[in-house]
Structure 1
Amino acid sequence: MHMSDALLSATVGVTMTAASAGAIGHSIRKITKFEMDEKKIPMMGVMGAFVFAAQMINFTIPVTGSSGHIGGGILLAALLGPYHALITIASVLLIQCLFFADGGLLALGCNIFNMGVLPCLVAYPLIFRPIVRKAMTKKRITAASVLAVVIGLQVGSLAVVLQTQASGITELPFLSFVALMQPIHLAIGAVEGLVTAAVLCFIYQMRSEILESAMRDSSVNGIPVKKVLVILSLAAVLTGGFLSAYASANPDGLEWSIAGVTGEAELEGDSGLHAMIAGIQEKAALLPDYAFKAESAENSMFGDAAETVGTSVSGIAGGLVTMAAAVLTGALISRLKKRRNTEAAA
């Protein structure tokens, strides 16, 4: 559900960037109030890499000709807590935008809001937490995962429609667009909910304390997490480096909905601003659309396998860069917490 710049006006793009920045700032302030939690930093990195890789796996939605991928917001919130989760998913979306041209640069604020703020700060605390708070069991985790993901994705897809309407995108009339966006993302959300539940139940079986600490916004210091991190790291490598090559080629839910209204999977930005931003993103993207650039692919030693190799390289490299970005962000926040604690003690 990564929005492109062509779906937005500059005003809406800037406004949503400010809203997302405000939510991230709020999350940082919340985190700095907690006790020091050094173990959350590697968890943010590994989970960021895992979600990056998992988002590369588009699964087919039967009959529709569409596909979907997990958003990861609820998964991250259930393991890290809502505030660390928002920082992590924002890192994922930033790397996808800058280095892989997945989602527009002007639309980055919208994508963080729709795929990060809404699931992490709304769906998780209002839906997931109340269901599992009294008694955490696998059945409750499954029910909470499916319900929270479905509702979060329904609200997020509606937000996409409202953002395009506020931007004056006349090619996408409200009723026609929303009539396609909501049902297809309901199906995508059901699949993502089950995937999220499977991962969470697996981790619950290994270390239930991780989910319990996220529920209480408490520290994971003292909880053995090394084994979980090793398994998730290996899963990220396997998913991004190998399984990503077998992702569905069908358009995702957003592209499918746009095509259902306009006949084309993507709209073209027609303003000078859109062209300028597209130029910046094109220069920054090292592996656009998770593949080697056209000129590199033509001269590649891999021949006909260049596309598959490019996808695998993108999955592994992107996961590593995302891990580094999330760890660096966590380390900076940790340093800020230490400074504030020192100043308070003085």
Structure 2
Amino acid sequence: MHVPDGFINAPVSAVTGVVAAGAVAVGLRGARRELDERTAPLAGLVAAFVFAVQMLNFPVAAGTSGHLLGGALAAILVGPYTGMLCIAVVLLMQGVLFADGGLTALGVNVLVMGVVTVVVAYALFRGLLGLLPRTRRSVTVASFVAALVSVPAAAAAFTLIYWIGGTTDIAIGKVFTAMVGVHTLIGIGEAVITALTVGAVIAVRPDLVHGARGLTAPLKLRVDGELVDAPAARPAAAPAATRSHRGLWATGLVTALVLAGFVSFYASSNPDGLEKVAADKGIDEKVEEHAAKDSPLADYGVKDVSDARISGGLAGVIGVGVTIAVGSGVFYVVARRRRTPDAPAATAHDRETV
């Protein structure tokens, strides 16, 4: 659902850019409460994984494909504020390096694919967890439903923005029906990918899933006919947890590289939901060439590499590498800024303890 240049007029694009910048600022502030130096690299990995999976268009209807938006997945794994930043990083890399999503439409894309999907998905996710039993399976089920709903919600948000600032005169009701209809089908694919990924991470490290925190009830033992809390786990398990954390990061990175570098070659070549609706309804009449169309990585291929398989694979690997580097750097700085204000108090406490 990457909106290109020319779909939305300049004034509305400027306003959405300002609103998106404000949302990113809120995300940076909120992410300080969600990140620390342990989870910052994982947030960078989530951004890279979303980038990789977005390259895998899957068929949803005759002549139409869809791809992961990723807002629900990112919000559930690393938190809503950090998740919003993950999607913003992905969209920035795609727009600047790969000519995917217009530069003047970057604000629209951040709002639609980053803010709306994250807010809708995470609000619904938390609401469902309040109704379902407090189990890991409930997290997976809630992830599925939240991801499913977030995609047509993003389509509706685009339709609203197009109604306000679209560059062609088209009956908005027809656009709304077409956008929400096809993106509901795409939402099913989004839901499957999100639920499988969240379930896989929960299976190995549930403590690293932001949306699963606080769900595990304390273990109870029956003593003299009464239930009491079991003793806490011994601290000796901490080194193993550290190794598992590094293993999860390495596994996630390898998976992202394989998806972007190899599996992406077999993705559907059909236009995605927005492209199909735009062509059918005439939204794309005033579409503009991308400012980065001459980028060496434009259209997810490496310039001057003639073999399509190698060109696309190299572009995908480069994209994953750049995204994880930029994302991890941003999140590490955010995590450090969270720690800095608390440092004097912690130092004083340490002196008193000694």
Structure-1 residue corresponding to 2:258: 238
Choose from 270, 277, 280 the match for 1:257.
277
**Runs of 5+ consecutive residues of structure 1 not aligned to the other structure:** none
Q: Which residue of 2 aligns with 1:340?
A: 341
Q: Kindly state the Cα deviation for residue 247 of structure 1 after the two structures are TM-superposed.
A: 0.5
Aligned: 1:290 with 2:289: no
RMSD of Structure 2 on Structure 1 (CA): 2.4
Using the TM superposition, name which of 138-147 and 253-262 deviates more: 138-147
Structure 1 residues 138 and 31: CA distance shift in structure 2, 3 A: closer
User: Between the two proteins, what is the percent identity of the paired residues?
Assistant: 32
Evaluate the alpha carbon distance shift between residue 139 and residue 54 of structure 1 in structure 2; reply closer, same or farther with a 3 A threshold: same
**2:129 aligned partner:** 132
Q: Give the distance between the partners of 1:30 and 1:344, measured in 2 at CA.
A: 21
Aligned partner letter, 2:331: G
In 2, Cα distance between equivalents of 1:330 and 1:108:
21
The answer as to 2:105 corresponding to 1:107 is: yes
CA contact (8 A) 2:79 2:210 kept: no
- Cα offsets for 1:80-110 (capped at 9, x unmatched): 0111111111111100000000000011111
In the alignment, the residues of structure 2 paired with residue 340 and residue 102 of structure 1 have an alpha-carbon distance, to the nearest angstrom, of 39
CA distance in 2 between counterparts of 1:171 and 1:292 reads 37
What is the match of residue 27 of structure 1? 27
User: For residues 339 and 99 of structure 1, what CA distance do their matches in structure 2 show?
Assistant: 33
Return the index of the structure with the highest Cα Rg. 2
3-state secondary structure, aligned to 2:293: helix
- 1:47 Cα shift? 1.2
Residue pair 1:58, 1:67 contacting (<8 A) in 2 also: yes
Distance 1:18 1:322 in 2: 23
In 1: Cα distance, 2:22 partner to 2:321 partner: 27
Counterpart contact for 1:146–1:189, Cα < 8 Å: no
Q: Provide closer, same or farther for how the CA distance between residues 49 and 290 of structure 1 changes in structure 2, counting only shifts above 3 A.
A: same
For 2:235, the equivalent position in structure 1 comes to: none
Give distance in 2, aligned partners of 1:163 and 1:286.
Answer: 32
**Alpha-carbon deviation of 1:135?**
3.4
The superposition leaves residues 48-83 of structure 1 with CA deviations (integer Å, 9 ceiling, x where unpaired) of 111100000000114x21000011111111110111
Q: Describe the SS at the equivalent of 2:209.
A: helix
Partner of 1:85: 83
Q: For residues 290 and 215 of structure 1, do their structure 2 counterparts lie closer, same or farther at Cα, with a shift above 3 Å needed?
A: same
Return the letter of the residue paired with 1:253.
G
After superposing the two structures, state which structure 1 stretch, 224-233 or 72-81, moved more.
224-233
Decide whether aligned partners of structure 1 residues 168 and 71 sit closer, same or farther in structure 2, where only a CA change above 3 A counts. closer
Extract unaligned runs of 5+ from structure 2: 215-237, 349-354
> Are positions 1:268 and 2:257 aligned together?
no
Q: For residue 5 of structure 1, give the secondary structure of its aligned residue in structure 2.
A: coil
Cα distance in structure 2, aligned partners of 1:135 and 1:267: 50
Give the counterpart letter for 1:290 in structure 2: Y
The Cα of 1:335 is off from its aligned counterpart by 3.2
CA distance in 2, matches of 1:215, 1:102: 35
Which stretch has the larger CA shift, 249-258 or 38-47?
38-47
SS in 2 for 1:7: coil
Q: Distance in 2 between matches of 1:238 and 1:41?
A: 22
**Aligned partners of 2:209, 2:25: CA distance in 1, in Å?**
24
Tell me the distance in 1 between the aligned counterparts of 2:255 and 2:42: 14
Deviation at 1:172, TM superposition (A): 3.6
Runs (4+) off by over 4 Å: 212-216, 221-224, 342-346
CA shift at 1:343, angstroms? 7.2
Aligned-partner residue type, residue 314 of structure 2: V
Scaled by the length of structure 1, the TM-score of the pair is: 0.85
Name the TM-score, length of structure 2 as normaliser: 0.83
